[in-house]
Structure 1
Amino acid sequence: MIKIGITGQNGFVGSSLYNTLGLYPDEFQRIDFHKEFFENSGQLDDFVRQCDVIVHLAAMNRHPDPEVIYENNIGLVKKLTESLERTASTAHVLFSSSSQEERDNLYGKSKKEGREFLAYWAKNNGGKFTGMIIPNVFGPFGQPNYNSFIATFCHKLTHGENPVIDNDGEVKLIYVGDLVQEMIGQIRSGETNEEYSVPHRTTIKVSEVLSKLENFKKRYFDGGEIPELKTDFDYQLFNTFRCYFDLKNHYPVKFTQHTDPRGAFVEVIRLGIGGQCSFSTTVPGITRGNHFHTRKIERFAVIKGKALIQLRKIGTDEVLDFYLDGAEPAYVDMPIWYTHNIKNIGEDDLYTIFWINEPYNPEDADTYFVEV
């Protein structure tokens, strides 16, 4: 069992790494970190002593004064290094640097010097060190106007604002899930690599990204249609976009119901992609689900009976309740990293249609059971 601590555990990359490590409970044990540890040497030392691996992600990305960024980031590296020395730790330290190392700015300078500082510690104290030089990262739950221009675009498009492109250059991107797998690979290898340039997965112009996101807004956010997704990047961008909805106000989405003397007709889902569609009946009082996905796209459509659909983001306590009634057919889509369930709260059988974008594969189910 490898004991792993993450500084910046609650940040964009940190929370994704923390949650993903939780999918391997037989291999990794997570040692919780709190940012207050940096202000208390005793608590920081206790944290360091417990760790076989420390992933140092805590850093400042943006501030009106670049000097503040530089001093903050170098200061955090020094505090961690001093703790490593006080505790005589020989941990494997992974450090997240940035492709901005090569730029003439204080953020890039803080990252390069921090990487070199920790490499020197490892070389002289019997530790191991991996300095990861990372391209632009995007993915679900990034902070708008801070972590990524994609986060900013997604938030604006789902909150009634219009994104503006400041510089339409080409960007090299990596999805946060792919970056996390790179980190886990380095942890498993247990080898020193002072300057590891993490390969980007996509090169694309900012305007092309915005065009894709505007298509998602038109087809999916406004129209409920699952758009055509041709590449891994399309899937990753779409799942990122879905995570910026104001879920409480967006769901449940009522269907357009057409009635005539024969009965009623409802279009449940319009697809630019395939997948698997299922139908279920649920007797009163029974709950289905209580699981989450990290990549799958899923829709629950209630067409008869009364249901309570509940969602909870992994790592949080807030439970979102959505009440649906087949008298007014409606659906709720499941964001990734949200555990979800559906319960029959009526007196009659509940009729539900489930759609998911890929057929069930028991060898790669992407289905993790956690109570809402």
Structure 2
Amino acid sequence: MGRIVVTGASGFVGQNLVVALKTRTKFDVVALTRTSDLNSFSGCKADHIVHLAGTSRAATEDEFRTGNVTYMRQVLECFVPRGPASFFHYASTVKAPQGGLYGRSKRDGEDLLRSIAPQMGWIPAIWRLPNLFGKWARPHHNSFVATFVSQVINEEPLSVHDPDSAVDLLYIDDLIDIILRKLDATDTAGATIFERFPTRRTTVGEVARVIEAIHATRDTSWLPEIDTPLGKQLQATYLSALEQERRVHTPGRIGSETGSFSEVFKSGKFGQVSLLTINPGKTRGQHFHNTKCERFHLVQGRIKLVERDTRGGTPIHRTVNENQSFWTRPGWIHTLENIGKCPAILLIWANEIFQPDARDTYHEDGLKNGPRDG
């Protein structure tokens, strides 16, 4: 079993990488944090070192060099490559070629790595990372996405300075997948710089809009309208930062002697999911729809389904057992009777949201009198 050392293991990328390594690979993982005693690992052999530790915010050039150059050299000199295909992965930044105190310190780290790592038996791999986002990023530090998420959760205004500013974002899970694939690489031909990633181009304003739309549905039965990969990734990022008590919602419930009805999930795209209960010996339904389509799934119990054509004719009877599903038929009255000994529980999907002022629900007793409560 190979050994991999991860520095900065308590940081944003480090936490995600360590969890992935432990659950998806057979590597022996050595996770180093700010409190780790580097000297205690002197002479330890490793197949890979993923050096994520570094300084991204500092007041002076010396602080940047200490965090991004000096410490990298200390790690390099501490561990021993296990064999000729041992890699030292250095987390740099797309800002390395652009200058600035932070960018220059990362570029100096790259240059030092290329210079001395081969002499010590390590194959250098330089990762010039773009804007990252995803679970466990620190607001006001790692990612403006994490900052927006924190602000919207705390009901603060989002710090959007230039909504039209274009950004290229890389999702943390996409980066982790790439790193794991590279750990299996066998190419040992000199230093490699990784700077092409599957980023997604968007704007700061669009990111803010999506995050606010997701947050707006948090304490409702409405599901956010998300139909892009970036939207799904932003939703995962948002939910990862939301504490448990704020992820619980109690939908309204209408109860009577016959049972209860709750509108559980709503979406402008896929319709509505509801929960219906029918007490033993009681009957629900007794109405029909002209256009609305519904599908019922019996989670618990046993019911009798009776359907009757509104134009007349003989009713059709059927026993529905637990874990069976059925569609209702437009223009036909459907009646559900609980013939079991326990409450019947049914999930209902409808292809449209129930609207009290434009309901497509007609009771069997009022075929000539227009819509009524069903």
| TM over 0.5, shorter chain | yes
Cα shift readout 1:172-213 (whole Å, capped 9, x = no counterpart): 110000001111111111434421213142011101110111
Q: Matched residues in 1 for 2:252 and 2:261: separation?
A: 9
1:110 paired residue among 94, 105, 108: 105
Q: Matched residues in 2 for 1:278 and 1:257: separation?
A: 10
Q: Flag the 1:278–1:121 CA change in 2: closer, same or farther, 3 A.
A: farther
Show structure 1 runs of 5+ residues with no match.
280-302, 305-347, 356-372
Which letter does structure 2 place at the counterpart of 1:223?
A: T
Residue matched to 1:70: 65
1:245 paired residue among 232, 242, 246: 242
Identity of aligned residues (%): 24
Residue matched to 1:210: 208
Q: Flag the 1:229–1:59 CA change in 2: closer, same or farther, 3 A.
A: same
Deviation at 1:117, TM superposition (A): 1.5
Which letter does structure 2 place at the counterpart of 1:54?
A: I
Residue matched to 2:262: 266
SS at 1:32 equivalent: strand
TM-score normalized by the length of structure 2: 0.67
SS at 2:267 equivalent: coil
Q: Matched residues in 2 for 1:57 and 1:352: separation?
A: 51
Q: Which moved more, 1:103-112 or 1:220-229?
A: 220-229
Indicate the structure whose relative CO is greater, using CA pairs within 8 Å and at least 6 residues apart: 1
Please give the residue correspondences for 1:75-154 in structure 2 after superposition, counting only pairs within 5 Å: 75-84=70-79, 87=80, 90=83, 91-154=86-149
Q: Which moved more, 1:13-22 or 1:125-134?
A: 125-134
SS at 1:182 equivalent: helix
SS at 1:35 equivalent: coil
Residue matched to 1:164: 159
SS at 2:141 equivalent: coil
Which letter does structure 1 place at the counterpart of 2:209?
A: S
Preserved CA contact (<8 Å) 1:130 1:191:
no
Preserved CA contact (<8 Å) 1:129 1:191:
no
Matched, 1:201 2:199: yes
Preserved CA contact (<8 Å) 2:17 2:176:
yes
SS at 2:167 equivalent: strand
Q: Matched residues in 1 for 2:221 and 2:197: separation?
A: 34
Deviation at 1:28, TM superposition (A): 2.5
Preserved CA contact (<8 Å) 2:110 2:126:
yes
**Structure 1 vs Structure 2 CA RMSD:** 3.2
Residue matched to 1:45: 42
Preserved CA contact (<8 Å) 1:128 1:190:
no
Matched, 1:175 2:171: yes
Preserved CA contact (<8 Å) 2:174 2:198:
no
Q: Flag the 1:207–1:18 CA change in 2: closer, same or farther, 3 A.
A: same
Preserved CA contact (<8 Å) 1:132 1:195:
yes
Deviation at 1:62, TM superposition (A): 1.7
Cα shift readout 1:325-367 (whole Å, capped 9, x = no counterpart): xxxxxxxxxxxxxxxxxxxxxxx999898x9xxxxxxxxxxxx
Which letter does structure 1 place at the counterpart of 2:52?
A: L
Task: Give the number of aligned pairs.
Answer: 281
Residue matched to 2:220: 223
Preserved CA contact (<8 Å) 1:165 1:207:
yes
Preserved CA contact (<8 Å) 2:220 2:249:
no
Q: Flag the 1:224–1:109 CA change in 2: closer, same or farther, 3 A.
A: farther
Cα shift readout 1:23-73 (whole Å, capped 9, x = no counterpart): 224x32322324334x542x1315x42x21110000122234454233322
SS at 1:14 equivalent: helix
TM-score normalized by the length of structure 1: 0.67
Which letter does structure 2 place at the counterpart of 1:265?
A: F
Q: Matched residues in 2 for 1:69 and 1:349: separation?
A: 66
Preserved CA contact (<8 Å) 1:119 1:194:
no
Residue matched to 1:324: none
Preserved CA contact (<8 Å) 2:219 2:249:
no
Which letter does structure 1 place at the counterpart of 2:122?
A: G
Cα shift readout 1:274-318 (whole Å, capped 9, x = no counterpart): 69x999xxxxxxxxxxxxxxxxxxxxxxx99xxxxxxxxxxxxxx
Preserved CA contact (<8 Å) 2:5 2:49:
yes
Q: Matched residues in 1 for 2:17 and 2:270: separation?
A: 30
